[in-house]
Chains A and B, each alone.
Chain A
Amino acid sequence: MVFSSISFLFFFLTLLFLSYFLVPKKYRNNVLLIFSLIFYYMGEKWYVFLLLLSCLVNYIIGLLLQKKRKKLYLIIGLVFDVGLLFYFKYTNFFLETFNNIFNFNLPMLKIILPLGISFFTFQNLSYLIDVYRKSVLPEKSFLRYATYITLFPQLVAGPIVRYQDVALELETRQESFELFSVGVKRFVIGLAKKVLIADTIYHVYTNILGFNMSALSYILVAICFTLQIYYDFSGYSDMAIGLGKMFGFNFKENFNYPLIASSITDFWRRWHISLSSFFKDYVYIPLGGNKCSKLLNIRNIFIVWALTGFWHGASWNFIMWGIYFFVFLILEKFTLKKYLKKNFIAYIYTFIIVVISFVIFSITDLNELFSFLKGMMGIGVPLYNKEVLYLLKNNLVILVIAFLGISPFLKNKINSLKKGKLEKVIEGGEIIFILGIFILVVASIVSSSFNPFIYFRF
């Protein structure tokens, strides 16, 4: 089930609101758990039992981590979680690589990737490590633990919510009209980012790819990849945060205008924050972080970025994508840093590096990828053609809106107007805007049968 579907918006949410707010507070987690399992079952059917098994094993190990031989239990837990992820996500990748290297013909396994396995595995891992480090007490109630892991807003596409961030809210939380309203606004904005911007930009670049290509076509497609992935994924995070607020949870932010970052280092402080902080806290720092020799520090950074790439998908292009960022992060750390101040050149440099990264990210076939990169450089194609000029002109409005939305300019402008004499007008306009946008989103969903979320792959 996806958020931008009629079944979710008009049936799942309706029934959930009725059930959740009508039952006494002490049963509300149970309601969330049941609905989260239904949500997962609607997309993944019987993998819901795999999800529950994963919750149960990690819950038990969490309790065992308070006893003696806790290192052994931690290792068992890590092996179970990483093993599960490895089996479902990476087995065929390694079989294929093995076959290619040694010229074998081992058959591929028929494995279907369970949605969100990368996200819920990382949540389980962070929980076990935090309990082991005693930065959080283990959860005593299985129902509460299962509610935390399966919580539908963040179950299939993040953000990666840490147990310590919601432990208190799982036990006692205060729902309110105010928080609900903030949640509605955030959810609707996220829906609009996904449905009205990301999906429209998807159509722009599929249109371009259907025609004769030029260098400008390739560049425009690359920019569209970047904008689509940003609006799709940050839209999903907004929806997750918004839904969380409706039920009294406060998830941490996952994006902070990453496309206006002034360096790649800055970009990764703003993009998929919950993932980069996971790798920082559970991989980079335990490896020694930067409190070691330069060479070991470079090794640590390499491991983190190879893993970051590999987390995104079982394919060489994702590993290349991670290593690509490793190269720029190292360059920035040791040489470029002093030149990258917050100026126009720094923004342009970052944007170009990021756009190229999302080409590597989007094209899994390596031959196709290199041919695309050559196309971007104008090798073997004209600089521009009439098709791309037409499509650029025809889609100018959505592209301008998408570019305006990558910075906080509009948001800040509205907030400053709210503080002035126009406060009432702006607030009234905001209500009309939010409900109007929601109606437009519904119109778009009704009009379109295409709606997959990109980040479900990971």
Chain B
Amino acid sequence: MKEKIVSIGFVGIIFTFGFLSLVLKDKDISLVERRKLASVGTLKEDFNENLDKYLTDQFPLRDTFLTLNSAFNRYFLNNKDYNGVYLKDDYIFERLYPLDNKSINNFTNKINYIKEKYLKNNDCYYMIIPDKSYFLDSNKYLTIDYDYLYSYLDENINFSRIDIKNELKLDDYYKTDIHLKQKAYFKVIDKLSDYFKFNNKDISYTEKVYSDFKGASFYKVPFSKPEELIYLTNEILENVRVKHLEYKDNYVYKEDAFNSSDAYNVFLSGPSSLIEIINDNAYTDKELIIFRDSFGSSIAPLLVPFYKKITLVDLRYINMNLVNNYITFNNQDVLFLYSTLIVNNSFILKIN
């Protein structure tokens, strides 16, 4: 009897999943991995080579199997950085280790190069937002030496850093995403107003809440819980003009993003090489240029009241040589706003 159960169980599993693979409709994208899944079309390119990629991508109950595997590794094998993330008190931390000295050196050289070549007459500062691992106990987890990183930058970048790391707390970050919550940027703006000398007067906002936010790290840990994403708006923001270099879109907050694989794209429609936000009702004529990564998307709306025009440049998607064709550098305020994640992976910045 035992023999029959084992044999029938095994054959039953392979027959059932084999059959389901054939009859179930293929999916286009994986929300879990935020990527396009291999389609049947790839088999035409090279059947033998792509067959397993296609079958694995389209396997029935794929997401459940991914969760099961993740749970097995994290909870049974006790691998606390499985999938490259740590979990502590419901916070998911992307592991940033080891410190890449070449990358840091490259970052400082590139920033200095931009300053010297394009921004001689501009009021320039840089700000490095620590990733969440900054708040982990370095005796229990592998974390980079943040003190060394910041002191290296201070010694080698030819203009001043606005220090924010001591103002931030872990709960300023989303639990399931790498980014800061938008409200946390009020602390940043307080700092910026001192350096760029704008009048940080109280502006009132209306809070809008999206309660099913699953950040970029959400699916890397099994059984994660969705959290709230709060974004702030007001009459000023509803009347600004937003221009993207690559596509037409006029949203400060694109709520359609909540139906996509990355709800964080609600801020300025997500990744974009060059964005201009024009506020015709600003109380000054000042302009601001932010060289930034994705952290810049959610601070920019809160700076709108203080500037007539804000230009966001993401050098991961456009080369600095080309930026020069779209921006005339004169006396704008300039902020380099990056996270430690980019500083340690700076070769993705396109600066020749």
Contact = CB atoms under 8 A, between A and B. Distances in A.
B55 A184 contact: no
B18 A11 contact: yes
Interface stretch (A77-85, A314-322, A440-448): A440-448
A180 B17 CA distance: 20
Contacts of A11: 18, 21, 55
Contacts of B14: 9-10, 13-14
A446 B69 contact: yes
A177 B3 contact: yes
Interface residues of B, number: 40
B81 interface: yes
B6 interface: yes
Interface stretch (A24-32, A141-149, A150-158, A430-438): A430-438
Given A184-B6, A435-B13, A446-B62, 10 more contacts: A5-B52, A11-B55, A178-B3, A181-B3, A212-B98, A390-B142, A434-B9, A442-B17, A446-B56, A447-B69
Interface of B: 2-7, 9-11, 13-15, 17-18, 21, 48, 51-53, 55-56, 59, 62, 65-66, 68-70, 72-73, 76-81, 97-98, 141-142
Contact of A10 (B17, B53, B72): B17
B70 A447 contact: yes
Contacts of A188: 10
Contact of B6 (A5, A390, A431, A442): A431
B80 A394 contact: yes
Given A45-B48, A397-B77, A431 B10 contact: no
B48 A180 contact: no
Contacts of A431: 2, 5-6, 9
Interface of A: 5-7, 9-11, 13-14, 17, 42-43, 45, 177-178, 180-182, 184-185, 188, 200, 210-212, 386-387, 390, 394-398, 427, 430-431, 434-435, 438-440, 442-447, 449
A6 B48 contact: no
A62 to B, nearest CB: 32
Contact of B68 (A210, A211, A439): A439
B228 to A, nearest CB: 29
Contacts of B15: 14
A438 B52 contact: no
Contacts of A439: 13, 68
A181 B65 CA distance: 25
Contacts of A7: 51-52, 55
Contacts of B18: 10-11, 14
A100 to B, nearest CB: 34
Contacts of A435: 6, 9-10, 13
A183 to B, nearest CB: 9
Contacts of A430: 2
Contacts of B5: 431
Contacts of A184: 6-7, 10
A314 B2 CA distance: 47
Nearest to B70: A447
B110 to A, nearest CB: 25
26 contacts: A6-B56, A7-B51, A7-B52, A10-B17, A10-B21, A11-B21, A11-B55, A14-B14, A14-B18, A42-B51, A178-B3, A180-B3, A182-B3, A184-B6, A200-B73, A210-B98, A395-B77, A397-B78, A434-B6, A434-B10, A443-B65, A446-B69, A447-B66, A447-B69, A449-B53, A449-B56
Given A14-B15, A394-B79, A439-B68, A177 B4 contact: yes
Contacts of B80: 394
B98 A211 contact: yes
Contacts of B48: 42-43, 45
A268 B98 CA distance: 41
A449 B30 CA distance: 15
Contacts of A427: 2
Contacts of B51: 7, 42
Nearest to A178: B3
A200 B73 CA distance: 9
A13 B14 CA distance: 8
A427 B17 CA distance: 26
Nearest to B10: A184
A109 B53 CA distance: 31
B68 A440 contact: yes
B81 A394 contact: yes
Contacts of A390: 141-142
A202 B2 CA distance: 35
B72 A443 contact: yes
Nearest to A18: B15
Contacts of B76: 397
Nearest to A391: B142
Please name the 8 residue pairs, one residue from A and one from B, whose CB atoms are nearest each other, closest first. A181-B3, A10-B18, A443-B69, A447-B69, A443-B65, A446-B65, A6-B55, A443-B68
Nearest to B78: A397
Contacts of B69: 440, 443-444, 446-447
Given A7-B55, A438-B10, A446-B65, A395 B3 contact: no
A446 B56 CA distance: 5
A211 B98 CA distance: 7
Nearest to B97: A211
**From A9, A13, A181, A443, residue with most partner B Cβ within 10 Å:** A443
A446 B53 contact: no
